[in-house]
């Protein structure tokens, strides 16, 4: 069946739970068939059905005594996806939709990677070239390509796997190269939720979330989309996360917008000097009114840039665009009025630098490396915070340009 007139292209990815049994698989196929009949040009990415990959991995571990070469293990683990593409493509054809599956053993396999087996990285330019040459013409003809997610191939022909989030990575690479209007991630949830349903009761579906916000959840262990996959999300293509339970690719879900910085870098986050106000005492964190008063006073007199706290101390980082004497006196008065607080200290003329980029949380030794290069060059770190895919550093304002240069060179050498 050739589709009717079309002006929309979509990449649809089905996770393993959406293909776990005959009923779910049939529902996924029907969803693609219905969308194709509406005229949408579709490329499909599929994961291994259900827990197939886990079964393969456990079987290998229990029978090989750890003697398999890494590339052999990847070849075996790819079999789940490689089986899925055959079944899914055949089901589409028997439902009247022209389809062709792609296997890494094919010469025109489009996902080319490095040789980091079990956690391979796509060679983006080679992937883009092959997708445009081998997959895009099929999509434009109205044929539905079905491509094994999670799987790659080195330039010398060895099968690789992409690691966590690998099928999402495949979908994002395809979407950018074929010029898709959107990516649809069909999962076993209604979208991205306000909390993990296994942890909190009655979580709410988010209608939209920026990728820079989402990466914080991914880094914290929430099983939405792995941060490595988010690295490949195209800036101009939205991602819609929907439930596959309804067999309808047009359903509302959660829209993921924006894109991540793909390279580790450092930048100055605030144009003017800042001040660091340290309050020390005993069990400060137990006095919520004290903490609230400190935050309120900071926001009254300045811009509160960041805050850190432990049991016996709190540190406020505020802008110094205005005269901060009133703030210092107000904070000092708050210290005197609360028995948990004992004293305060102020450090002026510091700058706020932020190191960020996808993969920061997976790159070992970044904090040590940056700290060392600053130490060797006589630059003291006034404060350091880590949150999601970023490291926040506070150094002397006068040293900001030198610090930026040193940190940037340090990051480039990773």
CATH number for the domain spanning 290: value is 3.30.2130.10
* CA terminus-to-terminus distance, the chain: 51
- 277 in the same domain as 244: no
> Is 2 domain-assigned?
no
> Is 312 domain-assigned?
yes
- 274 in the same domain as 215: no
Mind spelling out the 3-state secondary structure of 76-114?
A: HHCHHHHHHHHHHHHHHHHCCCCEEEECCCCCCCCCEEC
- 67 in the same domain as 183: yes
- 160 in the same domain as 46: yes
> Is 75 domain-assigned?
yes
- 316 in the same domain as 241: no
> Is 24 domain-assigned?
yes
Which among 162, 164, 174 is positioned nearest to 114, based on CA atoms?
Answer: 162
- pLDDT, residue 223, reads 57
Last residue of some domain: 223, 257, 291?
257
- b/e map 167-203, b = 16+ CB within 10 Å: bbbbbbbbbbbbebebbbbbbebbbbbeeeeeeeeeb
- Distance in angstroms (rounded) separating the CA atoms of residues 264 and 157: 30
> Would strands 341-356 and 390-396 be described as parallel, antiparallel, or unpaired?
antiparallel
- 176 in the same domain as 296: no
User: Which structural domain, as residue segments, surrounds residue 270?
Assistant: 265-412
Token pair listed for 249: 């690719």
- Distance in angstroms (rounded) separating the CA atoms of residues 266 and 84: 42
Token pair listed for 365: 């030794």
Last residue of some domain: 257, 284, 319?
257
The sheet that has 112-113: what strands, in order across it? 112-113, 151-154, 159-161
> Is 86 domain-assigned?
yes
Q: Give the helix/strand (H/E) hosting 341.
A: strand 341-356
Token pair listed for 116: 């980091």
> Is 1 domain-assigned?
no
- pLDDT, residue 269, reads 86
- 253 in the same domain as 269: no
CA distances from 153 to 121, 124, 177 (A): 10, 13, 18
Q: CB-hemisphere CA count at 13 Å for 110?
A: 31
- 208 in the same domain as 64: yes
Split into its structural domains, the chain has a count of: 2
- 71 in the same domain as 13: yes
344: helix, strand or coil: strand
- Distance in angstroms (rounded) separating the CA atoms of residues 164 and 282: 43
* Burial class of residue 62, CB neighbours in 10 A (0-12, 13-18, 19+): exposed
> Is 4 domain-assigned?
no
- pLDDT, residue 270, reads 84
- Distance in angstroms (rounded) separating the CA atoms of residues 296 and 33: 56
- 203 in the same domain as 92: yes
- 247 in the same domain as 318: no
- Distance in angstroms (rounded) separating the CA atoms of residues 315 and 309: 6
Q: Give the helix/strand (H/E) hosting 316.
A: strand 313-319
Q: Give the helix/strand (H/E) hosting 280.
A: strand 274-281
> Is 185 domain-assigned?
yes
- Distance in angstroms (rounded) separating the CA atoms of residues 43 and 47: 14
User: Which residue pairs, CB below 8 angstroms and at least 24 apart, start in 152-158?
Assistant: 152/104, 152/111, 152/112, 152/113, 152/120, 152/122, 153/104, 153/109, 153/111, 153/112, 153/113, 154/112, 154/113, 154/114, 154/115, 154/120, 155/112, 155/123, 155/126, 158/71, 158/74, 158/75, 158/115, 158/117
- 312 in the same domain as 359: yes
Last residue of some domain: 241, 257, 273?
257
| pTM of this prediction exceeds 0.75 | yes
CATH number for the domain spanning 199: value is 3.40.1160.10
Average pLDDT for consecutive 10-residue bins of the chain (414 residues)?
64 95 96 95 96 92 85 96 98 97 96 96 96 97 97 96 94 98 94 85 92 74 73 94 95 93 81 92 93 93 89 91 87 94 94 80 78 94 79 92 93 74
């Amino acid at each position: 069946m050739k589709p009717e007139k079309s002006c929309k292209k979509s990449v649809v990815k089905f996770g393993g739970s959406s293909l776990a049994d005959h009923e779910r698989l049939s529902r996924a196929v029907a969803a693609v068939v219905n969308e194709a009949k509406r005229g949408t040009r579709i490329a499909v990415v599929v994961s291994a059905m259900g827990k197939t990959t886990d079964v393969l991995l456990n079987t290998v571990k229990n029978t090989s005594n750890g003697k398999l070469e890494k590339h052999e293990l990847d070849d075996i683990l790819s079999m789940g996806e490689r089986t899925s593409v055959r079944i899914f493509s055949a089901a589409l054809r028997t439902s009247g939709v022209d389809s062709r599956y792609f296997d890494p053993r094919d010469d025109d396999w489009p996902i080319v990677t490095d040789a980091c087996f079990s956690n391979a990285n796509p060679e983006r330019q080679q992937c883009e070239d092959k997708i445009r040459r081998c997959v895009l013409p099929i999509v434009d003809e109205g044929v539905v390509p079905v491509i094994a997610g999670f799987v790659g191939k080195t330039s010398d022909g060895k099968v690789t796997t992409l690691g966590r989030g690998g099928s999402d990575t495949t979908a994002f690479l395809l979407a950018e190269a074929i010029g898709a209007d959107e990516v649809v991630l069909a999962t076993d949830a209604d979208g991205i939720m306000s909390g993990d349903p296994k942890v909190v009761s009655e979580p709410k579906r988010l209608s939209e979330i920026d990728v820079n916000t989402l990466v914080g959840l991914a880094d914290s262990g929430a099983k939405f989309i792995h941060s490595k996959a988010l690295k490949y999300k195209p800036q101009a293509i939205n991602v819609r996360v929907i439930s596959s339970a309804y067999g309808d690719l047009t359903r509302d879900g959660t829209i993921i917008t924006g894109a991540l910085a793909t390279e580790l870098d450092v930048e100055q986050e605030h144009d003017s000097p800042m001040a660091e106000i340290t309050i020390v005492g005993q069990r400060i964190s137990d006095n919520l009114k004290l903490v609230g008063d400190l935050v309120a006073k900071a926001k009254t007199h300045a811009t509160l840039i960041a805050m850190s706290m432990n049991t016996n101390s709190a540190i406020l980082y505020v802008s110094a665009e205005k005269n901060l004497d009133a703030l210092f006196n107000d904070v000092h008065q708050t210290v005197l009025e609360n028995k948990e607080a004992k004293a305060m200290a102020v450090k002026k003329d510091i700058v706020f630098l932020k190191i960020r980029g996808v993969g920061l949380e997976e790159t070992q030794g970044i904090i040590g490396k940056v700290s060392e290069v600053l130490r060797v060059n006589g630059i003291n770190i006034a404060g350091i915070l880590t949150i999601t895919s970023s490291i926040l550093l506070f150094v002397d304002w006068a040293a900001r340009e030198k610090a930026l240069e040193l940190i940037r060179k340090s990051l480039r050498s990773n």
